[in-house]
Chains A and B, each alone.
Chain A
Amino acid sequence: MSAATVRQEAIQSLRRKLAASEQSHSIQQLVPSGLKSLDALLPNGGLPTASLIEWISEDVGLSAASIALKAIAPMLALPGCLAIVDERHDFHADTLRCHGIPLSRALLIRPAHVVSAEPATNLSRFVRQASAAHSDALWSLEQAARCAGVRVVLTFLEQASSAVMRRLQLAVERSGVTIVLIRPASILHQPSFADLRLHVAAQQPVTATDRRRLSVRLLRSRHGLQHTGHALLEVDHETGAVHSISELADAEPSAATAF
């Protein structure tokens, strides 16, 4: 046995012990998403509650948020509401029904909206207002994350400092709330504080069919082993429903380091 293999085994063993140790002190529960291929990709076969989950969308309009909603819908079988922090004021709640979430369980939080920049003379005021609106959104997100009456918080978040992410991480560990962040691919180079970081992209080549095929990769898992492979999902054009495709993800542990 080579030295590299021995070192790799030692690292894997330590990682398992660390994960087991963290899980024994955690208030997390695992809730299967109901999407078989996604559950097969996730470290313990489901999404953890009391966690921070990032969904990275390669481009706009790739249904990353729809997949996230479909995946978190089973969590609402537990008490608590779904809080949506909508900084951009464009969340359309009719979609919730497509993913099996009753509207009665959703709470919308919309901080003050900055409509548009006025003439260039008022640009600085516009920037100030936009900055204030973003601060309010982050404050709302943290408040919701600290509230035990909330089960899941969903938001679109582009930029956030490490300090903000760390505060969110601490908040969910304390309250048991799950935060779902929908983020653009531009943040991929930034360090992650998330328990899970998932990446959504279109399956190439894009073809004209009745159903869109999307690929989900697990980029980071805090408590589990890193998985290569991907989950294949498809979105029905007519109903907007997200389905799992029978092809299973490769469950072999990768050689790459997860931390």
Chain B
Amino acid sequence: MQSLQRRLRSEGDCPPSLALHTGAPGTTDPKTRTASEAETDLKYLRSVFPSASGGPAVVAVSREAWIAGVRPGMPLAEARSMAQPLTVHRRQVQNKTRRGTTEAAAKTTVVFHEWTPVSDRRALAAVAEITRRYAPVVGLDDMPLPDSLLLDITGCGQLFGGEAALAELLLRDLRQAGCNSRIAIADTIAAVWALTHTERDRPEVRRSSQSSQRRASPRDADIAMLHELPIQIIPPGQQQEELARLPISASRLPLKDLQILAHLGIRSIGQLLALPREDLPSRLSEDAVLRVRHLLSITEEFIGPLLESNPVAAAWASEYPAKTFADIRQVLQHLVENVADQIDRRRVACSMIACELTSVSGTKIPLSASVVKPTQSAELMFDVLSLRLETLPLSEPVAAMSMTLQTVPLPVSRQRDLFSPTEHIRPQEELATLIARLSNRLGPQSVSTFRIQADPRPEHSVTLESILPSDSGESSLPQSEQVLQRLTAPDLDALEKIEQTIARPLRLLAAPQQITGCDDSQRPPEHINVLGKVRAVIDFSGPERIQTAWWTDQPCNRDYYRVLMDSGSQLWIFRDLQTGNWYLHGVFD
């Protein structure tokens, strides 16, 4: 609607009143015939406006057309009869929209235009190009009739002076492009969608910003200045509170489920989330249950990235194929130099490289590599690609190769320490390179950091978190800057915060090894076979009972003992309380 209005306005003699209508059933736009997304859009629209199933019907109107009496869902013939000839007094319009303004009356007519779903998506994709400098991943929302762009700005705020400053700059760019938009920043897609699709309630926003200033959060200070702009920033931890006050229509539930909920008197998201979760599958559709899980942040949601219209890319093809690894590496180097030159000119940095190798028989072989910190270094890009290439099962010569880069804004190197400007920066740079090299050669899962988990089972007490996203995952780049900072910077406070812990073995066997030959199942065994050597137990201490509830996925009912062997070694064994069997689980190495 906005882009069409802009186009019509630029043609000069067109009034701003505009109504979009569907085509006659069966007369689909040739462009939409193959586009399943567009067909889904149309189907959805006809379910919203049943009148559109029988013939052309109005589906969207501008403010001026609304004042003229044209309404969405109205059959086209009826809308035309109401709107033409039409005299709308400009004063009436202004009185509705802007208080105290008087202008001369003017005549205007409503222009009816056929709506095509593909045009909407194309227009949004064009707007997405404007936003790319703010986020590495930009995508459309996954609703029928998408009207929102989703930007993953994780870790990007600091490049623009904070998330608020980023939002302001983004709003400025969108306005310059003629887009009237709303911006919301929150931790989940469900929250931002709900916030941007609800009429903003200023007093509520101000109140939430005042309460949020009492909490320590990097977003807090930014909020107060934004209350005059169509920007909402929800501090971490306040999402549920903000969502609870929004109407149920902002929950992205399917129409049928919304009707059921309306019948039950559920009006707000807060009421919806207060319903017993175990009852929802019996009352609502599978899609609706998934949306509720999104609202509660139980299920993570990912952005389906939109391809760049003009990506940083390079390609090579030859009738003389590259037959050896040395040849392929040479071609890769040539392509990398090409794309490095492009990103240098565009002043962006590379966060991921995607290549496609085409063999002489036409087989396509994907090859991708990631870096921890966005880089412009051709050397590093070539290095990680070469390491990945070594793991590729190539059986035929390569006849063509293409390379596309995922880019992000150029990171700014910041001095952290006044007197030793490079002391903290260099280790991080070096570590980022190491992690990129290791991850690309061994696989992203092979390089990880640790996170403590509140789970009594020893094998689940610490989880591993990969630093680079896996190939198949659609997740965005993690907050690598913070990870690198945590890994390299000495934190004396952290050392002091380490609490006294119970002794745990340094080596924990992936699968507990059963100890055979126990005569008495109540007492620890007298002899244990440790890596092929039978050792006598001279002392033991315990038990330490570790038990989890029966409804957990892997229930654990164990009595653990620390046993001292005649060699001085110490082992960690347990008795399974259900079977009475003894197992070796760890070695105090």
Query: Which chain A residues numbered 221 to 244 have a C-beta less than 8 Å away from chain B?
Result: 235-240
Q: Which 5 A-B pairs have the closest CB atoms?
A: A202-B568, A149-B431, A61-B569, A240-B503, A208-B539
Let me know if B487 is at the binding interface, CB within 8 A. Answer: yes
Contact of A100 with B506 in the complex, beta carbons under 8 Å: no
A81-B431, A92-B504, A201-B568 in contact; A240/B588 too (CB < 8 A)?
A: yes
Is residue A187 within 8 Å, beta carbon to beta carbon, of the partner chain? no
B299-338 residues with Cβ-Cβ distance < 8 A to A are none
Query: Within 8 Å CB of A109, what residues of B?
Result: 438, 442, 446-447
B589 and A57 contact, CB distance less than 8 A:
yes
Does A143 contact B502, Cβ atoms closer than 8 Å? no
Interface flag for A136 (CB, 8 Å)? yes
A148-B427, A206-B567, A235-B570 are known contacts; what are 15 more A-B pairs with Cβ within 8 Å? A76-B490, A93-B450, A94-B452, A95-B505, A103-B451, A104-B450, A105-B494, A109-B446, A112-B442, A143-B434, A147-B434, A149-B430, A206-B566, A236-B503, A237-B541
A238 to B295, CA, bound (A): 44
Contact with B along A25-51 (1 / 0, CB 8 A): 000000000000000000000000000
**Smallest Cβ-Cβ distance to B448: which chain A residue:** A108
Question: What B residues does A98 contact at CB under 8 A?
Answer: 501, 503-504
Q: Which of A96-110 contact B (CB under 8 A)?
A: 96-98, 100, 102-110
Give the CA-CA distance A68 to B531 in the complex, in Å.
Answer: 22
Encoded as 1 (CB less than 8 Å from any A CB) or 0, chain B from 412 to 454 comes to: 0000000000011011111111110110011101111111100
Given that A61-B570, A93-B462, A240-B588 are known contacts, is A143 also in contact with B437, CB under 8 Å in the complex? Answer: yes
Which A residues contact B (CB, under 8 angstroms)?
Answer: 57-66, 69, 76-81, 88-98, 100, 102-112, 136, 139-140, 143-144, 147-150, 156, 182, 201-204, 206, 208, 212, 214, 235-240
A182 with B589: CB separation less than 8 A: yes
The listed residue (A66, A102, A103, A202) touching B506 by CB distance below 8 A is A66
Chain A residues with CB below 8 A from B558, complex form = none
Choose from B452, B504, B508, B538 the contact partner of A206 (Cβ within 8 Å): B538
Q: Using known A-B contacts A61-B530, A92-B586, determine if residue A104 contacts B571 with beta carbons closer than 8 Å.
A: no
Query: In the bound complex, how far is the Cα of B586 from the Cα of A88, in angstroms?
Result: 13
Say yes or no: B434 contacts A92, CB within 8 Å: no
Residues of chain B within 8 A (CB-CB) of A88 are 507
B461 touches A108 (CB 8 A): no
Q: Which residues of chain A have C-beta atoms less than 8 A from B428's C-beta?
A: 149
Residues of B within 8 A of A237 (CB): 503, 541, 562, 570
Query: Would you give the shortest CB distance from B443 to chain A, in whole angstroms?
Result: 7
Q: In the docked arrangement, what's the CA distance between A108 and B424, Å?
A: 21
B11: CB under 8 A from chain A? no
**Chain A residue with Cβ nearest B492:** A77
Which A residue sits closest to B570, measured CB to CB? A61
Confirm or deny: B48 has a beta carbon within 8 angstroms of a beta carbon on chain A: no
In chain B, residues 446-502, which have Cβ atoms closer than 8 Å to a Cβ of chain A? 446-452, 458, 461-462, 464, 484, 486-492, 494-495, 497-502
Whether A102 pairs with B446 at a CB distance below 8 angstroms is: no
CB pair B450–A100 under 8 Å, yes or no, is no
Q: Is the CB of A59 within 8 A of B510?
A: no
A100 and B588 within 8 A (CB) = no
**Closest-CB distance, B492 to chain A (whole angstroms):** 7
Per the CB 8 Å criterion, the residue count for chain B at the interface is: 71
- Flag if A60 contacts B531 (CB, 8 Å): yes
- Report which of B433, B504, B530 forms a contact with A60, defined as CB distance below 8 A: B530
Partner of B461, one of A94, A148, A150: A94
Hey, which chain B residues are within 8 Å of A69, CB to CB?
A: 506
Instruction: For A111, list chain B residues within 8 Å (CB).
Output: 442, 446
Assuming the contacts A63-B589, A91-B506, asked whether A104 and B431 have C-beta atoms less than 8 A apart, the reply is: no
- Any chain A CB within 8 A of the CB of B153? no
Q: Are B539 and A90 in contact (CB under 8 A)?
A: no
Bound-state Cα–Cα, A144 to B508, Å? 24
Bits for B547-589, please: 1 = Cβ < 8 Å to A, else 0: 0000000000000001011111111000000000000001111
Given the interface contacts A102-B498, A104-B486, A236-B503, does A92 sit within 8 Å of B508 by beta carbon? yes
Q: Is the CB of A136 within 8 A of B530?
A: no
Q: Which residues in A have their C-beta under 8 angstroms from that of B531?
A: 60
Shortest CB-to-CB span from A99 to chain B, Å, is 9
B461: chain A residues at CB < 8 Å are 94
CB-CB under 8 A from B486, the residues of chain A are: 104-105
A140 to B441, CA, bound (A): 9
A92 to B492, CA, bound (A): 23
**Can you list 13 A-B pairs with a CB-CB distance of less than 8 A?**
A62-B589, A65-B589, A66-B506, A89-B510, A92-B506, A94-B458, A95-B505, A102-B494, A104-B487, A136-B441, A149-B484, A212-B570, A240-B502
In the complex, the answer to whether A240 meets B538 with C-beta atoms within 8 Å is: no
Cβ of B509 within 8 Å of any chain A Cβ, yes or no, is yes
Q: What are the residues of chain A within 8 A of B484 when measuring CB–CB? A: 149
Which residue of chain B is the closest to A108 with respect to CB atoms?
B448
- With contact pairs A78-B490, A104-B487 given, residues A94 and B501 touching in the complex (Cβ less than 8 Å): yes
Q: Check A104/B494 contact, CB under 8 A, given A92-B462, A92-B504, A144-B434.
A: yes
Report the separation of the CA atoms of residues A147 and B568 in the bound assembly, to the nearest whole angstrom. 37
A-chain residues with CB within 8 Å of residue B446 when the two chains form the complex: 109-112
Contact, CB under 8 Å: B447 / A150: no
Query: A238 — nearest CB in chain B belongs to which residue?
Result: B503
Least CB distance from B562 to A in Å reads 6
For the complex formed, measure the closest distance between the CB of A38 and the CB atoms of chain B, giving whole angstroms. 18
A238 to B500 CA separation, bound complex (whole angstroms):
10
Closest residue of chain B to A88 (Cβ to Cβ) is: B507
Smallest CB separation, A109 vs chain B (Å): 6
- Taking CB atoms, residues of chain B closer than 8 Å to A147 are 430-431, 433-434
Let me know if B589 and A61 touch, CB within 8 A.
yes
Docked complex Cα distance between A107 and B565 (Å): 32
Q: Which residues of A contact B567 (CB under 8 A)?
A: 58-59, 61-62, 202, 206
Most chain B CB neighbours (cut-off 10 Å) among A93, A110, A136, A182: A93
Choose among A61, A66, A100, A148 the residue with the greatest number of B CB atoms under 10 Å from its CB: A61
The smallest beta-carbon distance between B535 and chain A, in angstroms, is 9
A residues near B462, Cβ cutoff 8 Å? 92-94, 103
Cβ–Cβ < 8 Å partners of A81 in chain B: 431, 487-488
Contact B500 A139 (CB under 8 A): no
In the assembled complex, the CB of B432 is this many whole angstroms from the nearest CB of chain A, namely 8
B427 partner residues in chain A, CB cutoff 8 A? 79-80, 148-149
* A58 partner residues in chain B, CB cutoff 8 A: 567-568
With A and B bound together, what is the CA distance between A65 and B567 in angstroms?
17
Which of chain A's residues have a CB closer than 8 A to the CB of B589? 57, 60-66, 156, 182
Q: Are B488 and A106 in contact (CB under 8 A)?
A: no
What chain A residues lie within 8 Å of B499 (beta carbons)?
A: 97
- B587 CB contact (under 8 Å) in A60, A139, A144, A150: A60
Chain A residues with CB under 8 Å of B562's CB are 237
Q: When the two chains form their complex, are residues A59 and B431 in contact, meaning their CB atoms are under 8 A apart?
A: no
- Which B residues touch A107, using CB under 8 A? 431, 435, 447-449, 487
